[in-house]
A = this chain, B = another copy of it.
């Protein structure tokens, strides 16, 4: 008679961790250089040098009680101002610092944003493919997840399916652009169409419908692409951000929720965000990391490194005959499983010590996710294994 759903959540195997553990076992058997683990989306680039330099300077210059003390629950004013300045640039108009609620990373941002807006019986829609933890977070908010499939290999949503999925119970649509696991960026055209659909639905059902925009990969974009400022396409958008990828600080748990001025009943929604953080025990975001953000929010990772990996792997796999989504951002390659079964394809790949994640749990069947946030050297070493896998898959063995 304890919380059975929490027991199950704690006991259920997280497939990505299982694969990573298997990779560890294989390294012990065949040697680290002969195992090609593409399972985990952990940044392989170090934090920009200014991050650690800033930590050292803060230790030298700032009073220890202030440095490690509570900040305001909504965040340190300098950190909020730095976030607001950056978002103002993206928006093309001023975003005041009091729209910013600093959090312990993207997962915290998401659970807080969802809990702030969810009422009993609500549904939240997600555009597939999607990060599986969204389901956990939506259910934590007491809501129910609905899945909208992608239209085609471009991984833009099927707009007809989105329209059909919206009913009076839908309170939010969760988007993630650049997308984990496909690397797709939602285009301005898509966002305009999604905005039109949601405005019509809001009108029809007479209540709020939010976009929750999960943007941790926002700065990991290639070929000159950029990620649009979503509230410019739809007013009632909450932005959830993390510095996990842009500053390579995933373990430090630092991010924010932005409630832009365009959100209707802005102050009530912002109060609900603060209330939802408070209720879940988020007293404040880690103080030292808030001061790092205040000084480093304009820093960028060495995207060229990820881009090199992306080109290398996309070109090689495409030439071998695999069908791949060309990623515009993030650090994942989304590959169609020859034969149709992602699980069978992943099992087959293991013979060649290649490890990646079947994407069924991401809401799209028949694909795998290959995380290229690894070293270029490992990718180069892995190519003969991919070739053997291709030969087997395509009957050229």
Interface positions of A (Cβ within 8 A of B): 1-11, 42-47, 51-52, 55-56, 59, 63-65, 67-71, 104-105, 107-112, 115-119, 133, 136-137, 139-140, 171, 207-208, 248-253, 265, 268-276, 278-290
Determine which of B2, B56, B136, B282 lies in contact with A59 in the assembled complex, contact meaning CB atoms within 8 Å. Answer: B56
Contacts of A248 in B (CB 8 A): 64-65, 68
Chosen A-B contacts, 30 in total, with CB atoms closer than 8 Å, are A1-B119, A2-B118, A2-B269, A3-B275, A3-B276, A6-B272, A8-B275, A9-B274, A9-B275, A10-B270, A11-B275, A46-B63, A46-B64, A51-B64, A64-B248, A68-B250, A68-B251, A70-B250, A105-B283, A107-B281, A107-B282, A107-B283, A108-B283, A133-B278, A137-B279, A250-B283, A251-B286, A251-B288, A253-B284, A253-B285
A206 to chain B, nearest CB (A): 9
Question: Which of B3, B70, B115, B281 meets A3, CB within 8 Å?
Answer: B115
CB-based contact B70/A42 at 8 Å:
yes
- A208 near B2 with CB under 8 A, answer yes
Q: Which 3 A-B pairs have the closest CB atoms?
A: A251-B287, A9-B275, A10-B275
Q: A1–B170 Cα gap in the complex (Å)?
A: 12
Q: A112 — which chain B residues lie within 8 A by C-beta?
A: 281
Residue among A44, A248, A283, A285 with most chain B CB within 10 A: A283
Number of copies of chain A assembled together: 2
Interface residues of A, dominant DSSP: helix
A2-B208, A6-B272, A6-B279 known; A252-B11 Cβ under 8 A:
no
Closest to A7 in B: B272
Of B11, B65, B253, B269, which is within 8 A of A45 by CB?
Answer: B65
Given A140-B279, A253-B286, A278-B10: A2 and B268 interface contact (C-beta under 8 Å)? yes
Query: In the complex the two chains form, is B55's CB within 8 Å of A42's CB?
Result: no
> Contacts of A45 on B, CB cut-off 8 Å?
65
Shortest Cβ distance from A113 into B: residue: B281
Q: Is the CB of B71 within 8 A of A272?
A: no
Q: When chains A and B are docked, how far (Å) is the Cα of A290 from the Cα of B286?
A: 12
Flag if A1 contacts B44 (CB, 8 Å): no
- Give the shortest distance, in Å, between A368 (CB) and chain B (any CB): 22
Residues of B within 8 A of A139 (CB): 279
Interchain nearest-CB distance for A60 vs B (Å):
9
Residues of B contacting A270 with CB < 8 Å? Answer: 10
In angstroms, Cα B108 to Cα A119, docked, is 23
- Return chain B residues, CB-CB under 8 Å to A137: 279, 281
Closest chain B residue to A207 by CB distance? B1
Knowing A43-B69, A55-B55, A65-B44, the reply to whether A116 touches B2 (Cβ < 8 A) is yes
Q: B136–A3 contact, CB under 8 A?
A: no
Closest to A65 in B: B46
Q: Please state if A283 and B253 are interface contacts (CB–CB under 8 Å).
A: yes
